[in-house]
Copies of this chain bind each other. A is one copy, B any other.
Amino acid sequence: MNFASDNVTGAAPEIIEALSAAAAAGPEMPYGADSYTARAEALMSEVFEKEVSVFFVATGTAANSLSLSQLVPPYGGAYCHEDAHIQVHEAGAPEHYGGKLIPVGGEHAKLTPAVLQPAIAKAVPPVHHVKPSAVSITQASESGTVYTPEEIKALASCCREHGMRLHMDGARFANAVASMGVSPAETTWKAGVDALSFGATKNGTLAAEAVVFFDPADGEEFAYRRKRGGHLFSKMRFLTAQWEAYLSGGLWLALADHANAMAARLGSALSEIPAVEILHPVEANMVFAEWPASTTDELVKQGFVFYAQESEGRSRVRLVMAFNTRPEDVEKLIEAVRGHGAAQAAQ
């Protein structure tokens, strides 16, 4: 029973079926000049209700770094949350592809104009500071929270005011969209997002990510950037066959719905256990909680796998639900936490 991350999973049957079919099919021209890619591109524009410029890659770090390098000149800066994946967990990839990240704070891993404005104001003296060029937000965030379209609009407006662009790290984009029940368009370009790193890997594919530009001008020479990073696949069909299956018939939202439902159930049940504190609103597929360190010890003993940070007898844990998380495993987890709490209280 592994709740460490949504990337400990295999892949959804629909995805691997599509891949098998693509593997057995006849020759296709390489580097994206194939029929799978054409169909995946068309689907992407359909999903966003707009002609988008889309580039398929295989890792989220590639999608983030490359898309940021399009929005941010080498001498520019992108503001992000201090807990953002791009800042803490990508080993300097965004800087490698160009530009500098400037971390700022914010509750529940979310940025607000109130936090950004004074940070941007520090860039006043000409050219000493990097040029403020973009803001990057994570949807759903690293704390499992979600930006509403209104919150995104406020950030976009702050960006426009300073001639900056808005980037969205959508490693868990499906979970955010499914959670809010809004259209993909409403939470992206209609709210002012310029570029989206659209992740599918965590939600049932093998390795499938996409850079989506809502202004086609951004995509004009972007293919060079992807190639220069070593991220252009020769047998592109194997990325885009996954995307075709993922976007067809709403599979992507169905998979995310399941993961979200599991998180909602877990969060709700845990919140009723006295010894447990829920640390962030449960708005996507992750539950962050704090409980006694002994609870973590007990769960680990019972075979549960998850990340935990211990400090002074307390344990802060992250529990991630996936497209294939089994309801019975969630119930077992709830039972185990509740049981340990009861045992403790009885002592």
A: which residues have CB within 8 A of B?
2, 4-5, 7-11, 13, 15-16, 19-20, 22-31, 57-66, 69, 73-77, 88-93, 95-100, 103, 122, 125-131, 201-202, 206-207, 221, 223-235, 237-239, 305
Contacts and interface: CB of A to CB of B under 8 A. Distances in A.
A59 B89 contact: no
Contacts of A130: 91-92, 224, 228
Contact of A74 (B74, B103, B233, B238): B74
Contacts of A226: 127
15 contacts: A4-B29, A7-B30, A8-B28, A8-B30, A10-B24, A10-B27, A11-B23, A11-B235, A57-B230, A58-B233, A59-B232, A91-B224, A93-B227, A96-B229, A207-B235
Contacts of A91: 75, 127-130, 224, 227-228
Closest 4 CB pairs of A and B: A62-B230, A75-B224, A2-B27, A61-B230
A85 to B, nearest CB: 9
Given A16-B20, A75-B227, A88 B128 contact: yes
Contacts of A232: 59, 61, 127
A230 B228 contact: no
Contacts of A74: 69, 74, 92, 96, 98, 225, 228
Contacts of A227: 61, 75, 90-91, 93, 127-128
Contact of A221 (B73, B92, B98, B206): B73
